[in-house]
Structure 1
Amino acid sequence: ENLALLSDALDLDLQFEGKEVPVGGFSVDLLVTDANTGYKVIIENQLGVTNHDHLGKIITYAAGKEANILIWIVGKARDEHRQAVKWLNDKTDSEVGVFLIEMELWSIDGSKPAPKFNVVERPNSYAKEQKYEENLNITQKQQLDFWKGFREYASKKPEFSYYFTFQKVTPKYWYNLSIGSSDAHIRLTFSVQNKEISVGVYIRNNKSLAQAFEKQQSVLKNVIGGEFSRNEGAKDIVFATFRKIDCDDTKKWEDYFQWFCEAALKLRGYFKDFLGNLSKEE
């Protein structure tokens, strides 16, 4: 749950990999993956005021795990450490970034305290993205343009914007939408090679959930209006429905964006109900 809140605060899609993961004679607090980019992410928690020791740790852990994104969550950030993180972000390339975050615990009307993440420093994305985009190939540029167009279209749809937080646009063939669960998210795809798009549920490291969801396929077909296929990887399982398209005809892209929005909203509603019913059974 907290990982989903952190994802929203950073405009990432963080998926849990491991806790207290060994790095030489030490261990990183959390190792996760950004599902948008596939980048490894390390998270270091420090309850108090920042110090040199923890700054050194996150750099050491990042090197040991070859991480692209470093997240340092603290109680209070000293000015000198803010400057150090800013310097790191200014001097590194587009595939490396450091977040410095101050965390507070908020309780409303006596409810259970929940974390509030305040971003103090983040990667200098504008300058890095300009340099990054210059090195993309034709397919990557087309994918980036497509997802930029989708995000612009979807952001103008009130219902879609209400239920979904928009993630960072990347030149990958996929775009993920958080549904507030660390076990699953909605995945949209735009395949230039296969000339098709898809909407589906991406389930990571939870085969029992995938098996339960697979039993819903006949009902899901009626809800979404398309056949769903199962695609299984080493750690993940995707249930998706596909549609053939003309990738090069940009005039048709808006039609594809509309299909994404409608199908994703239906899928989100169905999957949230499915998770709720599943928890009641347990």
Structure 2
Amino acid sequence: MKQLGKLEKIEDLRSIWKHEAKDFTPWLAEEENLSMLSEAIGIDIVLEEQESNVGEFSVDVFASEESTGRKIIIENQLEDTNHDQLGKIITYASGKDAEVIIWIVKRARDEHKQAIEWLNNHTDDQCAFFLIEIELWRIGKSEPAVKFNIVERPNDWAKSMKKSSSLTQGGAQKLDFWQQFIEYNQANNGIYAKSRPTSDAWIGKSIKGIPATNVNLVITKDNCRIEAYINSGNQEKNKSIFDALITQKDAIEQEYGSSLTWQRLDDKVTCRIYEDRPLSYINEDDRQAIFQFFCDATNRMLASFGHQAKLFKK
């Protein structure tokens, strides 16, 4: 009979990561490790900054949700939860205007489980608090493997019921549209198959390698639009990103397969590069055409702009 290995838990997390800020946070911020965390909690996490300033302090990881742009903070604690850290995550969430708060710990004490549960039950559907225990396992002398155990998470059913009961007619129509769009992606292996429906007028995907720029899908009563949307929060930075991209306008449009409208708004913070179609999400007969346009155009726009990431390498 073939010999089987014994699964062993590594109790001392600091035998692998000696220091939270110097060792664990850089490890977590690597794309493949953030992907593991994303898979565990069901949110596509895109890194914005490590050790991001909040006044005189700093949050371990500042990120965003790819499909909605919601801001995310991640605070790490390679020990048991405590009151001091709970207070810090609330402060950091406020300072970063975050809507997704992730607290990764060695062990969650009962009083802090209850605190996170209370926060999830008493905040609206835009806010999500996750309390996660991290474990390390190995078989024999193998490399350690990480496991994220979710201790507390939002009660999505309860929050969705709260949200649906308070939606305006327009919000309910948008929510229905995005639910159908995600189902279309699931049936056709589309890029939005794992996205969450929203009552907002847009969802999006970040463009890897281009700072502060997403590919957004936007719906209005009169048309639908796909856009490369630039919003760093700083007008001058937005303009510099836009100016760099417009030098490659011909190459981008040739690869995208269509001309685009390049819009730099001098009186506003954001810039956008877009294509629109006279199709309305309110019209059920238009929806399949919108779904096809959005899926096809997203793939082409992510590719055409993504190939210009070299412009932003330091």
1:131 and 2:158 matched: no
| 1:57 CA displacement | 1.9
- Which position in structure 1 is the counterpart of 2:10? none
TM-score (normalizing by structure 2): 0.70
Equivalent residues of 1:187, 1:201 under 8 A apart = yes
> What is the CA–CA distance in structure 1 between the aligned matches of 2:68 and 2:183, rounded to whole Å?
20
Which deviations, in whole Å up to 9, do the C-alpha atoms of 1:111-167 show, x marking residues without a partner? xx9987554422111111111122111222221111111111011113x34xx5633
Aligned in 2, Cα 1:37/1:261: closer, same or farther, shift over 3 Å?
Answer: closer
Map of 1:224 onto structure 2? 256
Instruction: Look up the equivalent residue of 2:130 and give its one-letter code.
Output: F
Aligned to 2:26: none
Tell me the TM-score normalized by structure 1: 0.76
Asked whether 1:53 is paired with 2:84, we answer yes
- Closer, same or farther: CA 2–129 of 1 in aligned 2, 3 Å: farther
Superposed displacement of residue 31, structure 1: 4.9
Question: Structure 2: which 5+ residue stretches go unaligned?
Answer: 1-28, 138-143
The equivalent position to 1:185 in structure 2, one of 193, 214, 224, is 214
Which of 261, 266, 283 is the equivalent residue of 1:249? 283
Per-residue deviation, 1:78 = 3.9
User: What are the Cα deviations for residues 176-219 of structure 1, in whole angstroms up to 9, with x where unaligned?
Assistant: 12455572332111122xx1111222334354443332223223
Q: Secondary structure at the match of 1:248?
A: coil
Q: Would you say 1:261 and 2:295 are equivalent positions? A: yes
Q: Quick one: which amino acid aligns to residue 248 of structure 2? A: Q
Rg (Cα) greater in structure: 2
**Percent same amino acid at aligned positions?**
35
| Residue correspondence of structure 1 range 37-48 to structure 2 within 5 A | 39-48=70-79
Matched residue SS, 2:194 = coil
The answer to whether the aligner puts 1:166 opposite 2:198 as a matched pair is no
Offset of residue 70 of structure 1: 2.1
Per-residue deviation at 1:30? 4.7
> 1:72: Cα distance to partner?
1.4
Q: Is residue 74–residue 104 contact of structure 2 (8 Å, CA) maintained in 1?
A: yes
- Which one-letter code corresponds to 2:283 in the other structure? D
C-alpha distance in 2, partners of 1:104/1:203? 38
Corresponding residue for residue 214 of structure 1: 246
Q: Distance in 2 between matches of 1:26 and 1:15?
A: 19
Instruction: Provide the secondary structure at the position in 2 that maps to 1:189.
Output: strand
Q: Residue 150 of structure 1 corresponds to which residue in structure 2?
A: 181
Over 3 Å counting, the alpha-carbon distance change for 1:27 and 1:94 in structure 2 is: same
| 1:84 maps onto 2:115 in alignment | yes
Shift of 1:172: 0.9
- Residue 240 of structure 1 aligns to a residue whose secondary structure is strand
The answer to which of 140-149 and 11-20 deviates more is 11-20
Q: Which runs of 5+ in 1 are unaligned?
A: 107-112
In the aligned structure 2, how far is the partner of 1:211 from the partner of 1:103?
Answer: 43
3-state SS of paired residue (2:79): strand
- Write the letter of the residue equivalent to 2:271: I
Give the number of aligned pairs: 270
**Residues in 1 aligned to 2:151 and 2:93: alpha-carbon distance in whole angstroms:** 20
Aligned position for 2:225: 198
Task: Provide the secondary structure at the position in 2 that maps to 1:269.
Answer: helix
C-alpha deviation, 1:38, in angstroms: 5.9
Residue 269 of structure 1: how far off its partner (Å): 2.4
Residue 204 (structure 2) aligns with: 176
Q: For the aligned residues, what is the CA RMSD?
A: 3.7
Helix, strand or coil at the partner of 1:185:
strand
Distance 1:27 1:189, change over 3 A: same
**Equivalent residue number for residue 109 of structure 1:** none
Q: Which residue of 1 aligns with 2:131?
A: 100
C-alpha distance in 2 between matches for 1:39 and 1:98: 13
Helix, strand or coil for the counterpart of 1:155? Answer: helix
Deviation of the 1:27 alpha carbon: 4.7
Change (3 A) 1:177 1:35: closer
